[in-house]
């Protein structure tokens, strides 16, 4: 198969012919149909990631992917050849302390394509733990859309919905409108659309020095997108409940 490979940190990335990966007993071989390029790929290539250092070079990068199942391991029950699937960045184990606490993204024995094993800048990629981690893509969702879900969108969803617990009347400011920031804008906008008419008082404020990024944020659901210099505090409603004395509530509100 053809794959992009680097053999030294920060060195040339070349397209080479490599052996097609062997299918894990608990996993699949996926034919890659779409893959994203993430800042984490850059960090890995620069030698900043201990998992890649531990794995050793060469490495095939790429961890934001979607594709078709080309081969199925004997232990896999939920997938068959031809299935369209999306893949999370973290392939969790299901048996460690963090997985038991429903926190699979910090699994203690996680596998990551492009970091602990060869990734998706290739025609085929081998993925273990398939029953637990891979998700079927619904009709109407393209491979390109699905490839963005496993890293940037899950990170943004965790921040906005699970950790931030944004209520219908709270505003949110997103600093930096790259892939991750634009995903946060989309998650906030999707959540806003679910509110009954008149309830969605929320502002989605997108901040970026790049005019193109600000335009994209508006296109994807941002309601306010001021050019720099930004006066963020003037764009948010008064804080509620009243600020704790000595604690600058209005600054934490954004």
Task: Give the rounded distance of the alpha carbon of 193 from its chain centre.
Answer: 22
Radius of gyration of the chain (CA): 21
Give me the least distance between CB of 156 and Zn ion, in Å please. 11
C-beta of 21 vs 119, nearer to Zn ion:
119
**Chain residue whose CB lies nearest Zn ion:** 38
- Binding-residue total with Zn ion (CB under 5 A): 9
What is the contact mask toward Zn ion in residues 94 to 113, using x (rule: CB under 5 A)? --x--x-------x------
DSSP conformation letters of 156-206: HHIIIIIIS---TT--EEEE--SHHHHHHHHHHHHHHHTSPTTT----EEE
Count of alpha carbons within 13 angstroms of residue 224, beta-carbon side: 19
d(CA 249, CA 170): 14
If one asks whether residue 93 binds Zn ion (CB under 5 A), the answer comes out as yes
Which tokens hold the place of 113?
A: 């394509």
> Using CB under 5 A, which residues numbered 9 to 68 contact Zn ion?
38, 40, 64
C-beta of 153 vs 223, nearer to Zn ion:
153
Give me the least distance between CB of 227 and Zn ion, in Å please. 28
C-beta of 92 vs 223, nearer to Zn ion:
92
Q: Residues interacting with Zn ion, by CB under 5 A?
A: 38, 40, 64, 92-93, 96, 99, 107, 151
């Amino acid at each position: 198969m053809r794959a992009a490979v680097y053999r030294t940190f920060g060195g040339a990335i070349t397209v080479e012919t490599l052996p097609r990966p062997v299918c894990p007993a608990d996993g699949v071989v996926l034919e890659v149909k779409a893959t994203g390029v993430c800042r984490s790929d850059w960090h890995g290539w620069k030698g900043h990631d201990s998992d890649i250092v531990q794995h050793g070079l060469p490495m095939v990068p790429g961890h934001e992917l979607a594709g078709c199942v080309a081969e199925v391991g004997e232990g896999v029950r939920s997938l068959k050849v031809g299935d369209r699937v999306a893949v999370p960045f973290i392939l969790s184990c299901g048996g460690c302390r963090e997985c038991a606490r429903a926190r699979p993204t910090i699994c203690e024995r996680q596998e990551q394509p492009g970091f602990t094993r060869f990734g998706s800048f290739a025609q085929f990629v081998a993925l273990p733990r398939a029953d637990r981690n891979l998700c079927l893509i619904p009709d109407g969702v393209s491979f390109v859309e699905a490839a963005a879900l496993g890293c940037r969108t899950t990170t943004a969803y965790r921040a906005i919905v699970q950790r931030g617990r944004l209520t219908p009347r709270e505003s949110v400011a997103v600093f930096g409108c790259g892939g991750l920031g634009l995903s946060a804008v989309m998650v906030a906008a999707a959540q806003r659309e679910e509110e009954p008419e008149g309830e969605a008082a929320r502002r989605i404020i997108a901040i970026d020095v790049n005019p193109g990024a600000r335009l994209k944020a508006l296109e994807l659901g941002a309601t306010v997108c001021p050019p720099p210099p930004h006066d963020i505090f003037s764009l948010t409603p008064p804080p509620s409940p009243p600020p704790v004395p000595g604690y600058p509530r209005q600054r934490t509100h954004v």
